[in-house]
Structure 1
């Protein structure tokens, strides 16, 4: 009888230890640690912690520098194709093979749209990045070449010269991280915000 009682007590003790340990780790790892990380991020990197939001001259938020947007106005620079419509809650893309009929149809449609909007630029000069989806579908950047090739169209629709637009793209070209990682790139939203200011001043 006493042996059975000892086993019950031992079982209760083990259960209480497990419960206390579980509650402790829930509080530490599920509450205190995230709050600490969030607090440090807000203190050390307030812009990034707040979503890297960009505001126009009126102080209105126009987007995040981390998430691409779809620009349809031909007078502005266009970003990469996004099969998810740049919806941040659905990051990813269809893992289509090059022979997939849906991918081929979408690519042909992108090429046709390019030809229609950019008659001055030979199709051979169309960068593959402008008609291909990024891995996340949210890429806010394009290559400098993808920006330069759009200059003739934008110049013809605005009062800006191609030289002005080339200088604008060059000024907004970001170098490789630490000079080593990644490729030179241009943030499309930042570029279009600067373009809008330039148009308003012209």
Structure 2
């Protein structure tokens, strides 16, 4: 007759069996089931909300990116390209660096932030041909993540004439694009209206 295993050994074996069972359920079966459901019902969102141009992935509608002159020439200075709608400033790395998401952590009374905001206000007023006082707040300050792709409709409207002029387009055409890409509040009451710069610029690219 086999000698029964000590209680401590039986306890460890029971724990090991439970570990294996829950590993299979929670570590394999559940993730596969959720992934399959997501791919079936929300394939675009499940794959990162990627946006494509001519069949090539050029970004994600969830992540902002820079639209500066270096997109044309890597040796060009890091200056905004007037042909594109510009996102809000970013404190993520050198700007919209997905490996360094974060804000500047500077408070409203920080002298450096105040000076930076004033410089941005004057620069944008000159570039977009508007009065400094009319530059909206989101054009002057970075988001908490540094990766926010959205700007306010006011900031998008400020850029319409500059983009139209640089692309030799009728401002009404560009303004219509902005209106078509303006999203309402979430559930009708959360947050504010917003414009996704990445998808808006993608629509501009498709105009040719």
| Fold shared, TM-score > 0.5 on shorter chain | yes
Q: 2:59 aligns to what?
A: 63
Equivalent-residue separation in structure 2 for 1:145 and 1:74 (angstroms): 17
SS in structure 2 of the partner of residue 94 of structure 1? coil
Q: Over residues 5-55 of structure 1, what are the superposed CA-to-partner deviations in whole Å (9 max), with x where a residue is unaligned?
A: 98x711111111112112222222122211211111111111111111111
Partner of 1:164: 173
Matches within 5 A, 1:1-202: 9-56=6-53, 58-72=54-68, 73-84=81-92, 85-118=95-128, 120-198=129-207, 200=208
Q: Which runs of 4+ in 1 moved over 3 A?
A: none
The structure where helix makes up a greater share of residues is 1
Aligned residue pairs, count? 192
Which deviates more from structure 2 when the two are superposed, residues 160-169 or residues 61-70?
A: 160-169
The CA distance in 1 between the partners of 2:186 and 2:166, in whole Å, is 34
In structure 1, the residue corresponding to 2:82 is in which secondary structure? coil
Find the aligned partners of 1:27 and 1:108 in 2 and give their Cα distance: 57
2:18 and 2:112 map into 1 onto residues whose CA distance is 52
Q: Tell me how large the CA RMSD over aligned residues is.
A: 2.0
Q: Runs of 5+ in structure 1 lacking a partner?
A: none
Counterpart secondary structure, 2:195? strand
Name the larger-Rg structure.
1
The secondary structure found in structure 1 opposite 2:99 is helix
> Any stretches of 5+ residues in structure 2 without a counterpart?
69-80
